[in-house]
Structure 1
Amino acid sequence: MPASPYTDLDRPPLRVTGLRRALVVPGGLWRRLEVRAETGSTNADVVAAARAGEPEGLVVVAESQTAGRGRRDRVWVSPPRAGLTLSVLLRPGPQVPPRAYGWLPLLAGVALVRAVRARAEVDAGLKWPNDLLAGPAAAKCAGILAEGAGNGAVALGIGLNVTTTAAELPADRPATSLRLAGAKTTDRDTLLRALLRELAELYAPWRDAGGDAQASGLREAYREMCRTLGEPVRVLLPGGEELTGGAVSVDGDGQLVVNTPDGPRTVTAGDVVHVR
């Protein structure tokens, strides 16, 4: 028997043919699925494709990503085939106003929680705006980044730790993987199919409702999964200001409402810490 090219046999490559057969179907959202052995950034790949005229529905998955980015230009690093690293191209169309695009990463967060709960059977929720928290320690297991690509196009990137070990996780912040959180399955094909199907099922009604998260049911679904609501929090704003108070709501634009000692404040962007 020939030797396997993979030294880590618990991290097999994605089965591309089966994924395409299951996901790229007539009338579906996903039109083209590309799995790349290595790339710098799947989001950068999708942005470039969008600017070259690629239609909605492109999915780019990387088995190894060398220059991945998270929010606020943080680096997202994962060993080859230890997780799911992907970006999708969406073009919501003229019926969705640009201000509603801020809901797309939250929509992806809801899809990710649903997929992880259903397939991995792991207790999971969201820290505002879209960090996936998993397992008993509620540590970060995934991140999401949306980037505009011009002409109404959005690259929506997702990075999920699947079989990442404790030694492979960043030492400077709490993090976990589905395996460490006790997942019933770490089969990446199963998880990717579930995630992309949930994304498509949430995206269609949101888009058809003109990006109205309330009318489409997205806001309520997000509130149910958001672990930040009802918690005392500390929020570091982009300019360096810090807020403390109770997280009480997510408004119609997806912004976090915090009751501070000086009254309610609406947070558009910032790093949230749950104060235990």
Structure 2
Amino acid sequence: MEPTPPMEIDTSRPHPARMYDWYLGGKDNYPVDEAMGRQMLALDPRVPVMARVNRAFMQRATRWLAGQGIRQFLDVGTGIPTEPNLHQVAQTVAPDARVVYCDNDPIVLAHAAALLRGTDEGLTEYLQADVRDPDTILEGARKVLDFNQPVALSLIALLHFVSDEDGAHELVGRLLGALPSGSYLVLTHATADFKPEESKAATDKLKAAGVTLALRSREEFTRFFDGLELVDPGVQVPHLWHPELGDPVPGQDDETIPGYGAVARKP
């Protein structure tokens, strides 16, 4: 795959991927990201826990999918690398797994070399593109993945940054529509269902900083899986989906972790 020319990194306003990195204790963020992150913490102290819960969900879902025989993964909204990355999890189970990462933040491109270190048997590639441009994503992914064989499409903590006006459901449909029967959709998504007042305040704060945050209800989240076969236990608060020992523990108020997660198969 031909490398994408690097883009200028905008450090004048916060970026979700860099804020996520700050929540996870990373160093690949800027003062504007930390400043907004601290404002989010003041509004809702659960945010860093949710970031860790999302990462753990991704790892469990990837292990589960590799255990089901899935050998191809398309991870859109990759974010700044935090080990273990998706390809490391998949290739631990299946060394011949192929993974395509995709993100629109230039800072992720700067870390692409770390993302591309995989097994000799497998293949790992990085594509710089935006989820709002599914045709570019599919064109690039086809150079690495065989679309005649099942693919796991992973959209972790991404779609709440895509509004209905930007066609979030249509974008998922376009990506999934190009994949064959037996493929899977893996999602996590933030919600305002549990603490609406705090969630609205966070949405307003991010909007003022130029960041879209579309917090969807359980019903709205479940719509992404229309026509698919949900894997047991269906739509769950992410840490309750196939929990494992060693996962982050959100605390006693489990139901208020502000998000949902699910995995579903394309029939």
Q: TM-score, normalised by structure 2?
A: 0.29
**Which has a greater percent of helix?**
2
Give the number of the structure whose residues are more often strand, by fraction. Answer: 1
| Pair member with larger Rg | 1
Which structure is richer in relative contact order (CA contacts within 8 A, separation 6 or more)? Answer: 2
TM-score by length of 1: 0.29
